[in-house]
Amino acid sequence: MINRVILTGRITTDIELRQTNDGTNYTFFTIAVNRQGNNDQTDFISCVSWRNTAEFMNKYLSKGSLIGVEGRLEVYRTQKDGNYEIRTNVNVSQVHFLETKSQSDFRKQNTQETPVLNKAAEKIDNAINEDSKFDTSSEKTNNEEINFDDIQF
At residue 3, the 3 state secondary structure works out as coil
pLDDT per residue rounded down to tens, the chain (153 residues) = 899 999 999 999 999 999 999 999 999 999 999 887 766 789 999 999 999 999 999 998 989 999 999 999 999 888 888 898 898 999 999 999 898 777 777 777 776 555 555 555 555 555 545 544 444 433 444 444 545 555 444
User: Looking at residue 137, what is its pLDDT?
Assistant: 39
Nearest to 133 by CA among 93, 92, 82, 89: 82
Domain 5-136: homologous superfamily in CATH: Nucleic acid-binding proteins (2.40.50.140)
Cβ-contact 50, 141 below 8 angstroms? yes
Number of residues in the chain: 153
At residue 23, the 3 state secondary structure works out as coil
User: Looking at residue 124, what is its pLDDT?
Assistant: 54
User: What's the pTM?
Assistant: 0.65
**Alpha-carbon separation of residue 3 from 6, 74, 75, 90, 112 (angstroms):** 10, 9, 11, 10, 36
Strand partners, 50: 26
Per domain, the residue ranges of the chain are 5-136
Q: Which residues have CB under 8 Å from 137's CB, separation 6+?
A: 20, 21, 22
User: Looking at residue 40, what is its pLDDT?
Assistant: 77
Beta strands 18-19 and 25-35, pairing class: antiparallel
User: Looking at residue 65, what is its pLDDT?
Assistant: 92
Q: Which residues have CB under 8 Å from 110's CB, separation 6+?
A: none
What span, in angstroms and rounded, lies between the C-alpha atoms of 131 and 108? Answer: 31
Cβ-contact 13, 62 below 8 angstroms? no
Q: Quote the distance between the C-alpha of residue 64 and its chain's center.
A: 13
